[in-house]
């Protein structure tokens, strides 16, 4: 207990050195009621200093072996770009200035690597655009424009839905097999790029892709989890709100919020009724969303997990506070059951299907939205409990490590950039009363990069 009080009373460096001898063992429990925004900020610094010391210039830190990982043959500065707007929002000015200067000087997208269009868009394009809007550093916008141009060839398919990968140097495309999340989660970034450059081509390409995808919804309004982007034929017909689909729904609603484009509102409304009618399931009075066949609505499984947890926040944002509250209650029960949340489990049998916890943000993101939209302090308390568990099980001497198995809490040698971009940002914003983000002025992309709402009058002609 003494060490807990000491830890909580002292700044980040003390917390760091207090566990420096502990390698990747637990640091001990911290009472949730003592978690504060300042503490989240200190933990961001702890995670960042590990990256800075052992992985600077690379895509991600390996927190146990104290080394680094690059996604491709060259680094695209995944963690710095993803984390930059978190630093700005937290007021970590020195770190933000140093990181921005490093990106300005060292990041080049003229690389002979074939990249994931989706991941590079949500993390890098989204990160550059939001940091540009927060910092007004023109170099960030220039990088975003260059990246947008290099990604655009991906949309040159027979249907207009993007190939999964594009070579940033040659423009060569690959990956005819894709899914709604990867096809339909490009609009916020490409649309913002159009607004900021005055060139409608980005908005048009991304919107056309969504239109093609939405047009292939089933008669009951659902989409599957795999589609061939050249033929437009579904290759996997499992409908859910989870992986392979999740952010497609998120971007339907958020594109309406960001651009005021009524097509997206219509597509969202046509989708959400089928989701609530067929994918939602009541079990012992609790609300869950499982897996069903997209044409018939027949139930395939009662699987759910860490990724699905974002849906409570999206329901809240779209005005369905009742379902949002109920789903977040289910989310919390999932977390409590395992002490962290599994990637996938069965909500009828509680059997774990994928035991990993990748330090994902979605459950905290939902607490953030529910708190912002209801004002209820229960979501702050909930967020504190989640965060206390993340510190307890994920913290290492040099950063944070993902969890291999929520049952044993064994760690694994990885920290995904979304931990700094999303998990720590939503935790901080949830706990920081003075840092409220006005949700009528900003829309977060799926990687938690806040983008300025653009009135339709500010969109370029020809959209």
Taking residues 217 to 236 in sequence order and writing x for each that binds ligand DMJ by CB under 6 A, - otherwise, the string is --------------------
- Window 107-126: residues binding ligand DMJ (CB under 6 A): 122
Whether 94 and 100 have beta carbons less than 8 Å apart is answered as no
With binding defined as CB under 6 A, does residue 447 bind ligand DMJ? Answer: yes
Q: In DSSP terms, which residues pair with 178 in a beta bridge?
A: 227
- Window 266-305: residues binding ligand DMJ (CB under 6 A): none
For 460, the token pair is 């370029």
CA nearest neighbour of 251 among 63, 121, 441, 351: 121
CB nearer to ligand DMJ: give 90 or 448: 448
With binding defined as CB under 6 A, does residue 311 bind ligand DMJ? Answer: no
CA distance 238 to 268: 19
CA distance 253 to 206: 15
The nearest distance, CB 362 to ligand DMJ, in angstroms, is: 6
Q: List the Cα angle 81/82/84 in 5-degree steps.
A: 65
The nearest distance, CB 263 to ligand DMJ, in angstroms, is: 22
CB nearer to ligand DMJ: give 122 or 390: 122
With binding defined as CB under 6 A, does residue 247 bind ligand DMJ? Answer: yes
Q: Which positions are annotated as active-site residues? A: 119, 246, 343, 362
Left if phi > 0, otherwise alpha if psi is -120 to 50, otherwise beta: which for 221?
A: left
N-to-C CA span, the chain: 60
Other beta carbons within 10 Å of 61 = 33
With binding defined as CB under 6 A, does residue 179 bind ligand DMJ? Answer: no
Q: Total residues contacting ligand DMJ (rule CB under 6 A)?
A: 8
b/e map 20-35, b = 16+ CB within 10 Å: eeeebeebeebebeeb
Cβ burial, residue 243 (10 Å; 0-12/13-18/19+): middle
With binding defined as CB under 6 A, does residue 418 bind ligand DMJ? Answer: yes
Phi, psi of 315 (to 5 degrees): -60, -45
CB nearer to ligand DMJ: give 155 or 418: 418
Can you list the alpha helix ranges (DSSP code H) found in 115-236?
Answer: 117-119, 126-135, 138-151, 180-184, 187-197, 201-214
CB nearer to ligand DMJ: give 237 or 360: 360
CB nearer to ligand DMJ: give 307 or 391: 307
- Window 341-380: residues binding ligand DMJ (CB under 6 A): 360-362
CB nearer to ligand DMJ: give 118 or 288: 118
Candidates 182, 446, 451, 454; binder of ligand DMJ (CB under 6 A) is 446
For 216, the token pair is 């292939």
> Got the DSSP string for 103-123?
HHHH-------EEEHHHIIII
With binding defined as CB under 6 A, does residue 255 bind ligand DMJ? Answer: no
The nearest distance, CB 292 to ligand DMJ, in angstroms, is: 21
> Got the DSSP string for 402-451?
-EEETTTTEE-S---THIIIIIHHHHHHHH-GGG---TTTEEE-TTS-EE
The nearest distance, CB 360 to ligand DMJ, in angstroms, is: 4
The nearest distance, CB 425 to ligand DMJ, in angstroms, is: 11
The nearest distance, CB 122 to ligand DMJ, in angstroms, is: 6
With binding defined as CB under 6 A, does residue 326 bind ligand DMJ? Answer: no
With binding defined as CB under 6 A, does residue 85 bind ligand DMJ? Answer: no
CB nearer to ligand DMJ: give 133 or 362: 362
With binding defined as CB under 6 A, does residue 248 bind ligand DMJ? Answer: no
For ligand DMJ, the binding residues (CB under 6 A) are 122, 247, 360-362, 418, 446-447
């Amino acid at each position: 207990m003494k060490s807990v009080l000491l830890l909580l009373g002292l700044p980040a460096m003390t917390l760091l050195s207090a566990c420096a001898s502990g390698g990747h063992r637990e640091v001990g429990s911290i009472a949730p009621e003592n978690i504060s925004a300042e503490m989240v900020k200190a933990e961001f610094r702890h995670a960042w200093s590990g990256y800075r010391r052992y992985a600077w210039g690379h895509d991600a830190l390996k927190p146990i072996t104290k080394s680094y990982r690059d996604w491709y043959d060259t680094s695209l500065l995944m963690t710095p770009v993803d984390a930059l707007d978190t630093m700005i929002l937290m007021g970590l000015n020195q770190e933000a200035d140093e990181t921005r200067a490093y990106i300005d000087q060292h990041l080049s997208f003229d690389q002979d690597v074939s990249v994931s269009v989706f991941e590079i868009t949500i993390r890098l394009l989204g990160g550059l655009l939001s940091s540009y809007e927060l910092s007004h550093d023109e170099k960030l916008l220039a990088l975003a424009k260059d990246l947008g141009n290099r990604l655009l060839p991906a949309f040159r398919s027979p249907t207009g839905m993007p190939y999964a990968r594009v070579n940033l140097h040659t423009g060569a495309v690959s990956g005819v097999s894709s899914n709604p999340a990867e096809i339909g989660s490009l609009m916020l970034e490409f649309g913002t790029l159009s607004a900021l450059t005055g060139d409608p081509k980005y908005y048009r390409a991304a919107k056309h892709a969504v239109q093609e995808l939405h047009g292939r919804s089933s008669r009951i309004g659902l989409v599957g989890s795999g589609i061939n982007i050249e033929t437009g034929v579904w290759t996997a017909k499992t409908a859910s709100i989870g992986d392979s689909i999740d952010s497609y729904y998120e971007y339907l609603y958020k594109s309406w919020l960001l651009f005021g484009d009524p097509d997206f509102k219509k597509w969202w409304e046509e989708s959400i009724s089928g989701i609530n009618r067929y994918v939602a399931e009541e079990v012992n009075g609790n609300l869950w969303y499982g897996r069903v066949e997209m044409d018939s609505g027949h139930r395939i499984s009662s699987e759910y997990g860490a990724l699905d947890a974002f849906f409570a926040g999206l329901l809240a944002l779209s005005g369905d506070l009742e379902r949002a509250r109920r789903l977040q209650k289910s989310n919390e029960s999932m977390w409590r059951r395992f002490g962290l949340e599994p990637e996938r489990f069965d909500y009828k049998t509680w059997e774990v299907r994928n035991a990993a916890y990748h330090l994902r943000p979605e459950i905290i993101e939902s607490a953030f939205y529910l708190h912002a939209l209801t004002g209820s302090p229960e979501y702050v308390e909930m967020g504190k409990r989640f965060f206390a568990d993340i510190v307890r099980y994920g913290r290492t001497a040099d950063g944070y490590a993902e969890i291999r198995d929520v049952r044993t809490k064994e760690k694994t040698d990885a920290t995904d950039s979304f931990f700094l971009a999303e998990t720590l940002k939503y935790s901080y914003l949830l706990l920081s009363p003075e840092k409220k983000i006005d949700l009528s002025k900003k829309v977060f992309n799926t990687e938690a990069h806040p983008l300025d709402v653009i009135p339709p009058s500010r969109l370029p002609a020809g959209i």
